[in-house]
């Protein structure tokens, strides 16, 4: 009997160890790294106005959607939640966040809205009410957007650290010291955190061991968020080069020179990578070789990321227009003008296109 109990105890310990290892693995496995979570197929939009809401500040960051709620933030720090159907305001943050929010996108994970400010603070708000759940202060500006694992929100900061923060309590689990300002949003893929630095290097950090797996020297500072898929990493740099690397070892797969700086996140869809640059061009390249399939010129800088759904590339431009372009042939399907520069990445959900503009207006097109 004693022998049986001893064996049973050892077996329970074994199972407990397996469970802990599984939980530990999940803590370093991304559940949200692309804004594709907010994209949903639907009727093909034709570029007509569905509704518009006028607010009191410019809107540069991308919105996020959960169910029938869309959330965006003005540059002056006011967070807004609207009904996606009619644009009715559901709530506005009880108080204006004491910071400018220019480039970091709003993100939603479960029932929480995350907003990163240039004051170095990450805010967590309740999705239904806008109430402040918690906030965490880093040591410098946050210009990046967060990603999520099962239990953590992961964010980079200009103080040179990558933070793993508990989504439940807002407490610091751990941080990785990089010792150089980081503006690039992180991407996590197979337990590795990828981000670009002002020193022109792409870094791959093992999230669990906090060690550098590899680095790659580009030709200039990297502000573009890398995208990882099929063991490849795609990103651009400020001098107009666009890179595809092997995600495992950082070796070069191909490099493509574009016309202007690449600041936005690329989109990889069905064997093609879609990317835009500061000279106003939108490109579609082959993921295998980097060869150009097509490009199209807008009349202003494109600092937003392409959104691709149902065979259409949607892109906003500093010329005040949003463009809908056929993903395979560069044919312009339609464009919509706002009379104001547009730098926010569009969100396409269930047949409606949502975006904000510098004029403080938030648009829904059908």
Angle, CA of 127, 133 and 135, to the nearest 5°: 120
Task: Kindly indicate the confidence band of residue 24, based on its pLDDT and cuts at 50, 70 and 90.
Answer: very low
Mapped to the 3 state alphabet, what secondary structure does 139-200 carry? CCCCCCCCEECCCEEEEECCCCEEEEEECCCCCEEEEEECCCCCCCCCEEECCEEEEECCCC
The average pLDDT across 299-315 equals 95
In the chain, % of residues over pLDDT 70: 88
CB 87 within 8 A of CB 81: no
Position 26 pLDDT exceeds 60 = no
Q: Which of 352, 306, 360, 349 lies closest to 51, judged by CA?
A: 352
Task: Kindly indicate the confidence band of residue 15, based on its pLDDT and cuts at 50, 70 and 90.
Answer: very low
Strand partners, 286: 272
The residues spanned by each domain of the chain are 258-366
Q: So what's the pLDDT on residue 347?
A: 96
On the 0-12 / 13-18 / 19+ scale of CB atoms within 10 A, 351 is middle
pTM for this entry: 0.89
Q: So what's the pLDDT on residue 250?
A: 98
For residue 106, give the 3-state DSSP assignment.
coil
- CA 122 to CA 103: how far, in whole Å? 14
The residue that leads in pLDDT, 338 or 264, is: 338
On the 0-12 / 13-18 / 19+ scale of CB atoms within 10 A, 69 is middle
Q: So what's the pLDDT on residue 95?
A: 65
Task: Kindly indicate the confidence band of residue 214, based on its pLDDT and cuts at 50, 70 and 90.
Answer: very high
Q: So what's the pLDDT on residue 183?
A: 87
- CA 26 to CA 41: how far, in whole Å? 29
Q: So what's the pLDDT on residue 32?
A: 47
- CA 181 to CA 172: how far, in whole Å? 19
Q: So what's the pLDDT on residue 100?
A: 66
pLDDT per residue as tens digits for the range 185-209:
999 999 999 999 989 999 999 988 8
Position 7 pLDDT exceeds 70 = no
Residue count (the chain): 366
Q: So what's the pLDDT on residue 11?
A: 40
Position 16 pLDDT exceeds 50 = no
Q: So what's the pLDDT on residue 34?
A: 55
Q: Which of 259, 334, 359 lies closest to 53, judged by CA?
A: 359
Q: So what's the pLDDT on residue 109?
A: 93
The CATH code for residues 258-366 is: 2.40.128.630
- CA 185 to CA 195: how far, in whole Å? 6
Task: Kindly indicate the confidence band of residue 167, based on its pLDDT and cuts at 50, 70 and 90.
Answer: very high
- CA 351 to CA 46: how far, in whole Å? 9
pLDDT per residue as tens digits for the range 68-126:
999 999 988 899 999 999 999 999 986 667 666 767 789 999 999 999 988 999 999 99
pLDDT per residue as tens digits for the range 219-275:
899 999 999 999 999 999 999 999 999 999 999 999 999 999 999 899 999 999 999
């Amino acid at each position: 009997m004693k022998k049986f109990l001893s064996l049973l105890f050892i077996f329970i310990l074994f199972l407990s160890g397996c469970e802990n290892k599984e939980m530990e693995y999940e803590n370093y496995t991304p559940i949200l790294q692309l804004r594709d979570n907010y994209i949903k197929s639907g009727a093909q939009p034709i570029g007509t106005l569905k509704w518009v809401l006028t607010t009191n500040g410019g809107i540069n960051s991308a919105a996020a959607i959960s169910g029938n709620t869309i959330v965006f933030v003005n540059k002056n720090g006011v967070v807004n939640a609207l009904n996606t159907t009619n644009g009715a305001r559901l709530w506005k943050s009880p108080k204006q966040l004491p910071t400018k929010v220019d480039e970091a996108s709003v993100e939603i994970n479960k029932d929480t809205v995350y907003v990163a400010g240039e004051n170095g603070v990450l805010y967590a708000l309740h999705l239904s009410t806008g109430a402040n759940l918690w906030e965490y202060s880093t040591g410098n500006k946050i210009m990046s957007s967060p990603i999520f694992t099962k239990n953590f929100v992961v964010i980079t900061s200009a103080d040179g650290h990558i933070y793993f923060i508990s989504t439940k309590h807002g407490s610091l689990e751990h941080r990785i010291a990089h010792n150089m300002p980081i503006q690039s949003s992180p991407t996590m893929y197979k337990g590795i955190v990828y981000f670009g630095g002002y020193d022109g290097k792409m870094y791959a950090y093992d999230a669990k061991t906090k060690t550098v797996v590899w680095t790659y020297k580009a030709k200039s500072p990297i502000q573009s968020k890398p995208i990882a898929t099929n063991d490849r990493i795609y990103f651009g740099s400020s001098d107009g080069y666009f890179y595809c690397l092997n995600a495992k070892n950082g070796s070069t797969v191909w490099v493509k020179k574009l016309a202007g700086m690449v600041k936005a996140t690329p989109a990889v869809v069905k064997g093609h990578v879609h990317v835009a640059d500061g000279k106003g061009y939108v490109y579609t390249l082959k993921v295998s070789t980097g060869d150009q399939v097509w490009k199209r010129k807008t009349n202003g800088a494109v600092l937003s990321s392409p959104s691709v759904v149902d065979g259409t590339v949607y892109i906003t431009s500093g010329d005040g227009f949003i463009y809908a372009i056929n993903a395979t042939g560069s044919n312009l399907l339609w464009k919509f003008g706002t009379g104001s520069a547009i730098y926010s990445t569009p969100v396409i959900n269930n047949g409606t296109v949502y975006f904000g503009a510098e004029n403080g207006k938030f648009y829904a097109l059908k």
